[in-house]
Amino acid sequence: MKRILFILIVMAAFFTTEAQARRIPVGEHQKITKVATLPEEYETNDGLHVDLGCMYTVFEIAYIPVWTVDKGEIVCFTEQDKGSYYVIDPETLSSIKADLKIDDLNSLIHIPFWDAYGGKLVVILIILLIIIYRKGKKRMKREEQAQNAESAES
């Protein structure tokens, strides 16, 4: 037993890594999903190609989207710089509609299933598991009390 304990302590001393505790992320986050690829002529001032994306805002707890705060809008973004987006001016908007042969760009707004419903399903599942666990605990307690009452009568 002492030998196993010694080996475990030596392994823990030599093979542990630095632990870093981080806060659980909670709050609103903006996300952009690609909805259409634009022709090569659409570029930023830096020469980066832009595509059409749907930008929306979700409220997340520990990277689980609980609800969608903003239903989304169409913006331009670059694949190289995911953090920035470009609001489309009316002139560019009309040329994009002509190039893509789409009358209404708002028809392209699409929020992925995970961001729209997945987090809600996870939260509901967690709540159901907590309820089931508590009911099971109460049932076990009642059965234990019934057994104690039967053994006391005997």
pLDDT tens figures, 42-85:
888 888 899 999 999 999 998 899 989 888 899 999 988 878 89
CB 32 within 8 A of CB 51: no
Query: Is the model's pLDDT at 38 over the cut of 70?
Result: yes
* Nearest C-alpha neighbor of 56 from the set 69, 42, 43, 38: 69
Tell me, what DSSP letter sits at residue 97? H
**Residue 134 neighbours by CB under 8 Å, 6+ apart:** none
Go through 112-135 and write b for each residue having 16 or more CB atoms within 10 A of its CB, e for each that does not. eeebbeebeebeeeeeeeeeeeee
Q: How far is CA 124 from CA 4, 112, 118, 136, in A?
A: 44, 19, 10, 18
Distance between CA 11 and CA 5 in Å, rounded? 10
On whether the pTM is more than 0.75, the answer is no
Distance between CA 86 and CA 57 in Å, rounded? 16
pLDDT tens figures, 89-134:
989 889 999 998 988 888 889 899 999 998 899 989 999 999 999 9
**Within a 13 Å sphere around the CA of 4, how many CA atoms are in the beta-carbon half?**
1
What are residue 79's phi and psi, to 5 degrees? Answer: -70, -30
